[in-house]
Chains A and B, each alone.
Chain A
C-alpha cells in the first residue's frame, strides 16, 4: 500500500512538472539598461487600417528622461485588447530613444485603445495611450466612396495629387471626423443629406444629392465609415445592453 502511494506520488509529480513545463510564463528576456521618465508618441498613432491587416505605418514611441532627452535601452511593452498583436510586443529603445512596432488590430472592426508601457528607475509605471481604427468590410467600402466622392470638399487638407476644394466653398463642409457635429445627427438625417443634398436638412445646396448615384447599400457603408472614424467617438443611441 505504502509503495503504491509512493508511486502515485512520483507519477503525479512527474505529470505536474510536465504540465508546468508546458506553460512558460510571459517572462521578457529583455533587461532594461536604462530608465526614462516619460513616454511620448513619435508617429503611427490615430491610423485608419483594415481588419486582418498590419497597419501601414509602424507605431513609434520614444522614452525621455526628466530633462526631456531621449533614453537608450529603456524597456517598452505594448498591450491592447484581445485580438491585437504587436511585432515586436516589447523591446529596448534604440540610440535615438525610440522603439517601433508593427500593429495588427485583428479581425474585428472598431476603435482600439492600445497602451505602451515603461517603468521609471523607481519602478513607477509610465503609460501612453494610443488610438487606432480598424475598418471592416463595410467601412472600407465607405472609405473608398469617401475617397472618390466626398473627400475633396469635406477634407480641408490638400495633397500634391489631390487638391482640396474646401477653401473654395462659401459654406464650409464638416470634416467626417468632426464628431461634435456629426454625432448629433441621426442615421436617418445623414442618409437624408447624402441622398437628397443639403436642402433636405435646410442646409446649403452646395452639398449635392447622391441618392441617384449611390445605392442604398453604399450610403449605409459610407455612414458606417463616418461613424467609426468620428472624433470624439460615436455611440449609438437607443438601448444599451450590459456587456456581461
Chain B
C-alpha cells in the first residue's frame, strides 16, 4: 500500500508540499485574473495620464476604482462602459485624444439618464474591449459605427430633430422614394410611415405618353431624368416591350384630357415662352438640367429637361389649361392660362427633347400574348404597389416588413461573401446593390448618392426592438399629420390652386411659402385683394415668389373673404389698434427707435434711398399691408406669431412697440406716391 503510494506520489512530505503548492496556485488564479484584467490596466493608465496634469487632484477625486455600472431598469440598460471610459464626464480632458480616456462630446443627454448602449449599442455588461465593442456571438449588435449614430436618437424621437439632419433626411427619403409603398413600417404608436411621393396613375397613360417613351423609361428612368425617383428594374428588352404593350392596351381615355391643335395657331416667339416659364415660377417646383449638367429648380414636380420627348402635345395642351382634368389630386396649381399663354409654354416645353432617348426604340404592334405577359410581369414586379393601374389591386405586404429591421438577428441574414456580418453593413449594401443578394430578387436598383444611402441606413437602423418596446412615457412623439381641409367655395378654390403645395395652414402643407394660418390677422383686406390679383415680391433677396394665377374678381373676393374671416389668431383682436391717426411725436419716436436703438434698417428697407437691408420684407408700404395690432404683437414676440422666423425677439417694452407700430403704420402705399410727386 505504502509502496504503491510512494511510487505514485513520492515521499508523503514532498507530496504534501507539491499538493499545497498546487492548491495555492489554483487559489491565486482568480485574484491574478482580476489583477491583470483589461479594465484594471486601463484604470491604471488613466491614473498615470491624470497624474501629470494641473487638475490631477480633482480628476483623482472623481475617479472610482473597480467596475463601474449604470443600471437603468426602465430602459433595460446595464452598462459597464464607464469602467474603462473613465474620463467621459471630465470637461477638462478636452485635449486628450487617446481612447478610452476622451471626454464625451457635448450632447443634450447624459449617460446617467440613458446609459451608453441606448445610443452606441454594443454589449453593455461586458468588461473586455472585444466583447463590449465587437462581439456578434453572445450579443447580436456590435458597436454602431459613428456615421449611423443619429439612428439611435430616432428610437425615442419620432419627430424631426434639428440636431439630426441625417436621420431626418433618411426618414424623408423613405417616403419620398416610395420605399414604404412596398415595405410596411409600423410605428410604435400604431401608425405607419406614409409615402410622400405621388406616383402617377397609369390607368390613362396612353393619353399622355407614347409606348416608345414608356419602353425607354422602363429600361432606364434616369436616362430620361437624372432626378427621377423611379428605380431601375433592370428589365430585359422583351420585358420592357411586353410591359409597355400591356400599359398602353390597359389604358382608358379620360374625357377632356387632350386638346387637339387648332388650325389657326400662329407661330409663337420661343423666347416669350421662356419668360412666361420664368414669370410663372415653374422652376420653383420643376427642375431642368442645364448645359453644364447641373439640375436647377425645385423638386415638387417632375424634372422637365426632356419633357418634349415624353408627353403628347395634345395632352400637354389640356394639362396646361387645367391639370386637374387628368389628375384631380396633382400638386400642380390650375394656372388659368390663356390660350395664348398655353401656346407659348407649349412651344417652350415642346423644344425640350432628346433625340437620343427614343432613337433606338422600334416596337412592332403588340400581340395579345405580349400584352398578357406584360400584365403578368406588372403583377410580378408589384407595379401596382406604387402606381394605380386599372384592373389591378394594390398588393398587400409586397415586400418584407421593416418595422424592426434595425434589430434584425444576424442569424436571419444571408450575407454576401466577404461582407462584415453586421446589420448596418447589410442594410446599406442592400440599398446600394439589392440585386447582388440574388438574381431572382425583385427589389429594383436605386441611384442614391452615398450620403442618401447613409441617411436611409440611419433611418432604418432606428427601427429597433428598443424603439418598439420603449414605454410611451419615454418617447417624444411626432405631431399627428394634419388633414385640414378648408370648407366651401374657397376650399374648392384652394384645392384647385394647390395652395397647400407651397403654403401651410393649420399644420398641413408645404414650406416653400409663408404659413397662412393667421394671415387674416396679419394683412389688410385691400392689400390681400391686390396681391392675389398681381402678386409682387415682398422680399427683394428671394428668387422664388408667388405666381400669377389670372384669378377672376369673384374668385379673389371668395378667397379674400375666407382668409380674412377664418385665418385669425385667437391671441389678439385684429382691430384693437387703429391703422392711422397716430400722434406725430409718437411717429417720430418710432422712427428714432427704428434707426438707432433697434437698427431695423440692417434687415428692412423703409426708405429706398437710404436703407439697403434686404433680409426681411421691404416695409416701404407696410402701413397699407399689415394690421397695426399684428405689427405690435409681432414686435413683442415674433416667434409666437410665426414659429421659426429669424427675426430676433427684442424683448421690447410696450412703449417702444407702440411707437414703432405708429411709425410703421404711416408707411402707406399712397404716401409713397405723394413723395414721388
Point out the residues of chain B lying under 8 angstroms from A243, CB to CB: 95
Count of chain A to chain B residue pairs whose CB atoms are closer than 8 Å in the complex: 107
Of B146, B541, B602, most A-chain CB atoms within 10 Å: B602
B624 to chain A, nearest CB (A): 24
Point out the residues of chain B lying under 8 angstroms from A104, CB to CB: 147
Majority SS at the chain A contact face: loop
A198 to chain B, nearest CB (A): 8
Contact B649 A213 (CB under 8 A): yes
Contact B54 A206 (CB under 8 A): no
A162 to chain B, nearest CB (A): 8
Contact A144 B106 (CB under 8 A): no
Stretch in B34-42, B565-573, B609-617, B669-677 with 4+ CB within 8 Å of A? B609-617
Contact B145 A52 (CB under 8 A): yes
B418: interface (CB < 8 Å): no
Point out the residues of chain B lying under 8 angstroms from A168, CB to CB: 602, 612-614
A78 to chain B, nearest CB (A): 19
Point out the residues of chain B lying under 8 angstroms from A107, CB to CB: 146
A37 to chain B, nearest CB (A): 34
Stretch in A8-16, A132-140, A185-193 with 4+ CB within 8 Å of B? A132-140
- Over the window 37-59 of chain B, the binary record of Cβ atoms lying under 8 Å from chain A Cβ atoms (1 yes, 0 no) is 00000000000010011110000
B107: interface (CB < 8 Å): yes
A242 to B454, CA, bound (A): 38
- Over the window 191-223 of chain A, the binary record of Cβ atoms lying under 8 Å from chain B Cβ atoms (1 yes, 0 no) is 000000000000011111111110001001100
Contact A136 B106 (CB under 8 A): yes
A94 to chain B, nearest CB (A): 20
Contact A208 B602 (CB under 8 A): yes
Point out the residues of chain A lying under 8 angstroms from B163, CB to CB: 137, 140-141
B255: interface (CB < 8 Å): no
A244 to B98, CA, bound (A): 11
A48: interface (CB < 8 Å): no
Contact A163 B614 (CB under 8 A): yes
A26 to B604, CA, bound (A): 61
Contact B162 A206 (CB under 8 A): no
Smallest Cβ-Cβ distance to A242: which chain B residue: B52
Stretch in A27-35, A66-74, A114-122, A147-155 with 4+ CB within 8 Å of B? A147-155
A51 to B97, CA, bound (A): 14
Smallest Cβ-Cβ distance to B296: which chain A residue: A160
Point out the residues of chain B lying under 8 angstroms from A206, CB to CB: 599, 601-602
- Over the window 444-460 of chain B, the binary record of Cβ atoms lying under 8 Å from chain A Cβ atoms (1 yes, 0 no) is 00000011001000000
A184 to chain B, nearest CB (A): 21
Contacts of A57-106 to chain B: CB distance below 8 A: 81-82, 104, 106
- With contacts A165-B541, A205-B596, A212-B650 known, is A153 near B147, CB below 8 A? no
B85 to chain A, nearest CB (A): 13
B665 to chain A, nearest CB (A): 22
B245: interface (CB < 8 Å): no
Contact A208 B648 (CB under 8 A): yes
B362: interface (CB < 8 Å): no
B145 to chain A, nearest CB (A): 7
A207 to B597, CA, bound (A): 11
Smallest Cβ-Cβ distance to B454: which chain A residue: A53
B21: interface (CB < 8 Å): no
A121 to B7, CA, bound (A): 77
Contact A137 B107 (CB under 8 A): yes
Contact A54 B613 (CB under 8 A): no
A206 to B599, CA, bound (A): 5
Contact A209 B53 (CB under 8 A): no
Contact B107 A165 (CB under 8 A): no
Contact B97 A82 (CB under 8 A): yes
B603: interface (CB < 8 Å): yes
- With contacts A165-B613, A204-B599, A212-B651 known, is A149 near B543, CB below 8 A? no
A141 to B162, CA, bound (A): 8
A72 to B658, CA, bound (A): 71
B273 to chain A, nearest CB (A): 22
B137: interface (CB < 8 Å): no
Sample of 19 more A-B contacts, CB < 8 Å, known A53-B454, A224-B106: A52-B147, A137-B105, A138-B105, A140-B163, A165-B614, A168-B612, A168-B614, A205-B596, A206-B599, A206-B601, A208-B598, A208-B648, A211-B651, A212-B649, A212-B650, A213-B648, A213-B649, A239-B54, A241-B54
> CB within 8 Å of A: which residues of B?
49, 52-55, 92, 94-95, 97, 102, 105-108, 145-147, 149, 162-163, 165-166, 450-451, 454, 541, 543, 596-599, 601-603, 612-615, 639, 646, 648-651
Ordered by A's residue number, 12 sampled pairs between the chains whose C-beta atoms are within 8 Å are: A52-B147, A53-B454, A108-B97, A108-B102, A136-B106, A140-B165, A153-B602, A169-B602, A212-B648, A213-B648, A220-B106, A221-B106
Which 7 A/B pairs are nearest by Cβ-Cβ distance? A52-B146, A168-B612, A212-B649, A205-B599, A206-B602, A138-B106, A163-B541
